[in-house]
Amino acid sequence: MRLRLLELAREQAGQVASSLLADLGADVIMVEPGGDRGAPTFAPAASTTRRAPDYLRRRRRSVTLDLTSARGIREVLRLAGTVDAVIETFPPGELAGLGLDFAELSEANPGIVLTSVTPFGQTGPRAGWRGTDLVVQAMGGLVASTGDADGPPRKLGGEQAAHVAGLLAAIDTAAAVRGVRAGLASGVHIDISMQEVMATHWTREIERYVYTGQETGRATQRLGLQGFPHTVETADGLLFLLPLRADWETFAAFLGLDRFATHEWSDPETRLARWDEIEPHFLAAWKRRGRYEWFERAAEFGFTLAPLDDPHSVLASPQLAVRGFFEDVRLTDGSTVQAPGLPFAVAAERAENRVPEPGEQNETLLGSRRD
């Protein structure tokens, strides 16, 4: 039976979760800011109000409601009675203040699954803290290992915490709905802390510290851990170097640096001290081929090299094209853009891949009700 979902998500983590489930075939009703006249009153005035980016609004049915009004609350409770799950990203305690917490939703629908995604979770001394993606990445431990050793840590690009937490929220919601349908639970409230999500993805480094006291080091800007730069410029872009099992003499010969493919240069400390002698030849060698040529050639030697693709390169990837990863999404103005689809292949009956007009389902889903 098709999963039905009510989305009360102002933040990207919840919007990502709903998008993934919509791409899997879920029927998603998205509550957006607006009252009878389209006023942006999605939540109490003290809270921020944001509409999801267009690429995260596809395959939805949209209704606009004023959640500061009695009618808006009644409509949410009525809609909650028709769905399997609700995904929300309100600050802890705010839904309760509106009369929409798990207890109230459960009265409307005893089998409801409520998935709450917040920076620090629903409990604890920091539950009420607000946090951007940067804050969550940093406090989850991830940023400590980014950047160069001789500079400050750097945030990972994009909204990484939101997307990882959104993926987890989608998985947890789908699993909980299945459990409720199987009679394993009468209703479930899932509390997802984005900080904990980041810390979970940092498990290897945390365990290394717990067992050995060793902290995760950051690479130097000039020379990597193997005695040569970890990123180089090729004929058509950047290439990441991590040939862990390569001895220097073999690696230098692979690059055509026969002059330096001798035992004299095998010691990393020697290369570090005398790198100025090697560097011009080393950098020039990489520019003789493109990054994918080097990638294919390295595979023959068992070396680990990774082409660094920018957004343009990712969009043009023949691998992703064959797998149909990018999909055309129709926007409200009739134009189409490409957007990432599911990170796995699946056959499912799905809603049309387009962005709805805000409130276009008001008449269908809300009818002519008034306060």
Q: What pLDDT, on the 0 to 100 scale, is given for residue 368?
A: 59
Q: What pLDDT, on the 0 to 100 scale, is given for residue 122?
A: 96
Give per-residue pLDDT as tens, 132-165.
999 999 999 888 888 777 788 888 888 999 999 9
- Per DSSP, the three-state class of 136 is helix
Q: What pLDDT, on the 0 to 100 scale, is given for residue 263?
A: 85
Tokens 């730069």 belong to residue? 229
Q: What pLDDT, on the 0 to 100 scale, is given for residue 285?
A: 96
Q: Which positions ≥6 away from 366 have C-beta within 8 Å? A: 63, 65, 75
Give per-residue pLDDT as tens, 68-96.
999 999 999 999 999 999 999 999 999 99
pLDDT at 361 over 70: yes
Quote the tokens at residue 254.
Answer: 């692979």
Highest mean pLDDT among 34-43, 151-160, 299-308: 299-308
Q: What pLDDT, on the 0 to 100 scale, is given for residue 40?
A: 35
CATH numbers and ranges of domains, the chain: 4-201+324-366 (3.40.50.10540), 238-307 (no CATH)
| 225 or 122: which leads in pLDDT | 122
Rounded distance between C-alpha atoms, residue 190 and residue 169, angstroms:
8
Highest mean pLDDT among 30-34, 76-80, 208-212: 76-80
pLDDT at 213 over 90: no
Q: Would the pTM of this model clear 0.95, i.e. be above it?
A: no
Rounded distance between C-alpha atoms, residue 288 and residue 322, angstroms:
29
Contact status, residue 200 vs residue 164, Cβ threshold 8 Å = no
